[in-house]
Each structure stands twice: as C-alpha cells, then as structure tokens.
C-alpha cells in the first residue's frame, strides 16, 4: 500500500494507472474508519482494480468549530485498516494541499442548489458547499472512474450525484449500504463520542425507522400519521433534540405527498447534547466522549412492496 500526501504525486499515480488500462475507485473519508467505511472499500474493489482511500478532515463542512476539533483522528489505525482491506493508495493530504490560501480565505466554491436546502442543509448553512467543494478537489486530484459514498448520508449522495452530472465529471457514483452495529445503530465515526446513556438512547433512531416501515407494510399511507408516530418514538431520547424527522421524495428531496403512493425517504437527525457527567466505558482519549453528537439515519419506505 502506498501512502501519498501531495496532490501532484496522486495525479501522477492515477495517470500511470489509467495509461496501463486500470480502473480506479475513490473512497473519500474523513478517517476514523469503521466497518462501514471498509464496506465501501469492498464495493470499490468489486467495481475496479485500483482503490484510493482519501483521509482528510475537511474544515469547510463543519458549522461548529468544536465539532471539527473533536472529530476523531486516528491515522495509524486508519492506515492499518486500509492495509488489511487491500487498499492500493491512501491519500492523506495536509490542508495546504487542498486549500493553498487557507480554508478560511478560499474564494472559489462549488454549490448545488435545491437539493442542499432541506434536511441537513436547513440547520447547517454552508455544510454542503464545503462537501461539494472538497469532493470536487478530490475528484480532480484522484481522477477516478468510480467514487463510492455511503447511503447513510443519503442527502450527500444525492447532492454529489447531481453535481457529478452537472459538471460532466464522467465518474460513476456508487452508493454503499448502511452498515449497523449489532443493536441496529448505524455505524458512524461519531458513535464513540456518545456517553453510555446517549448511546443507549440513540437506538430510538433505528427503532423509529423500523416502526415506520412496519406501519407502511401494514397499509398506513398517511404522511402525517407516520411522522406523528416516529416523532413520538424519537422523543423517548431525553438527551437529544430532533433536528429533523421528515418524509421526502428520494430523488428530488421535495416533501412527500400527504398520501404516500410510491417510495419515500424517511430521514432522521438527532442532536445529542453534551453530557460530561455521563459515565462511559470508552477509554479512547481521541473520542471526546460527552461532547455534542449529531447522528443521522434513513430508510426508503415503499408502500407498493
């Protein structure tokens, strides 16, 4: 496995692989890799014969500076995981490689309109602008044939697909299924920051998704009725506030009709407040246990199945 830090070196490597007839996949990450990321690597390997994993904690997609500072950084562990997964190149650039004038002084942005307005975009101004800008920079450096993103970040996946088409990148955007812990919680690098009580309460997210799916399977078609039950379930997480719980069209992300007549996206985000008094068994000093943690999850509900 090759570890590359400079953009020019990565571009040269990719050009050589292309000249030799290889297909390249890029798996963009911010590190703190878990089984969900490694499943994306597996998807990438199945579609191509060269895999790049980028590791870069992108400052421009964080609204809260403390969230950026507290994001887990465990490069040695990440490199070991990539090596074991058969990754060909880990690209771990310094911020100066991607923001030569500094992130705060950047004057050029990639902004996707419409799809970025609801859900995560409603309470995180500038978040998706940071995401689409950094992904554009990653694409230009890695020059992949395929890029793999997790379906847990459903809105991000939709936004990147639209950006890729609009800018004519000619890159296949593949989605990787959400990987869950044994009790149903969607894997996230932020999970390690949950205290014991918050970790237990976070299970209301997957329970709410399953409950909505069960309601639809039993014939419920009312948008309002489904969300009422989902929100009541989410309210059981007393350490969290509901950022959003919404039913949306899976392609346009516009609000789903009042009477569901086709596949809809149920998207949920909970914000767990800091709780430094919460006891925990986590001894990882990089985890920043007790900090505010925002968790998202989703499920496609299909009334016609």
Task: Look at residue 159 in the predicted model and tell me its pLDDT.
Answer: 99
Could you count the other beta carbons within 10 Å of the beta carbon of residue 109? 12
Active site residues: 37
Task: Look at residue 278 in the predicted model and tell me its pLDDT.
Answer: 57
Angle ∠(268,184,83) on CA atoms, nearest 5 = 100
User: What's the topology of domain 2-176?
Assistant: Rossmann fold (3.40.50)
pLDDT digits (tens, 9 = 90+) for 207-238: 999 999 999 999 999 999 999 999 999 999 99
Q: Band of the pLDDT at 20, cuts 50, 70, 90?
A: very high
Mean pLDDT lowest for which of 51-55, 147-151, 206-210, 289-293?
Answer: 289-293
pTM of the prediction? Answer: 0.94
Q: Residue ranges per domain, the chain?
A: 2-176, 191-301
User: What's the topology of domain 191-301?
Assistant: 3.30.1300
Q: Does residue 283 have a pLDDT over 50?
A: no
pLDDT digits (tens, 9 = 90+) for 144-171: 999 999 999 999 999 999 999 999 999 9
Task: Single out the residue of 81, 31, 71 nearest to residue 54, CA to CA.
Answer: 31
Residues in the chain: 305
Measured between alpha carbons, how far is residue 285 from residues 73, 231, 281, 290 in Å? 10, 34, 12, 12
pLDDT digits (tens, 9 = 90+) for 226-274: 999 999 999 999 999 999 999 999 999 999 999 999 999 999 999 999 8
């Amino acid at each position: 496995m090759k570890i590359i830090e400079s953009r020019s070196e990565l571009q040269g490597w990719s050009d050589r692989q292309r000249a030799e007839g290889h297909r390249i996949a890029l798996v963009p990450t911010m590190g703190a890799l878990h089984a969900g990321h490694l499943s994306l690597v597996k998807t990438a390997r199945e579609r191509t014969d060269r895999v790049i994993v980028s590791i870069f904690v992108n400052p421009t997609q964080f609204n809260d500076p403390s969230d950026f500072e507290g994001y887990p950084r465990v490069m040695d562990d990440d490199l070991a995981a990539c090596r074991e997964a058969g990754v060909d190149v880990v690209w771990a650039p310094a911020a100066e490689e991607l923001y030569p004038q500094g992130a705060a002084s950047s004057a050029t942005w990639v902004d996707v309109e419409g799809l970025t307005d609801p859900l995560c975009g409603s309470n995180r101004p500038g978040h998706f602008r940071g995401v689409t800008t950094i992904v554009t920079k990653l694409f230009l450096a890695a020059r992949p044939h395929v890029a793999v993103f997790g379906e847990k970040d459903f809105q991000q996946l939709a936004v990147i697909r639209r950006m890729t088409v609009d800018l004519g990148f000619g890159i296949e955007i593949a989605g990787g299924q959400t990987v869950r812990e044994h009790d149903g919680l969607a894997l996230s690098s932020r999970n390690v920051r949950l205290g014991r009580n918050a970790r237990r309460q976070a299970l209301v997210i997957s329970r709410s998704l399953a409950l909505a799916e069960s309601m639809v399977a039993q014939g419920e078609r009312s948008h309002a009725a489904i969300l009422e039950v989902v929100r009541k379930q989410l309210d059981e997480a007393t350490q969290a506030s509901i950022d959003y719980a919404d039913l949306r069209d899976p392609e346009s992300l516009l609000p789903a009709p009042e009477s569901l007549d086709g596949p809809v996206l149920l998207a949920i985000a909970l914000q767990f407040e800091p709780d430094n008094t919460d006891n925990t068994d986590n001894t990882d000093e990089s985890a920043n246990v007790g900090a505010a943690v925002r968790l998202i999850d989703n499920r496609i509900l299909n009334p016609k199945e």
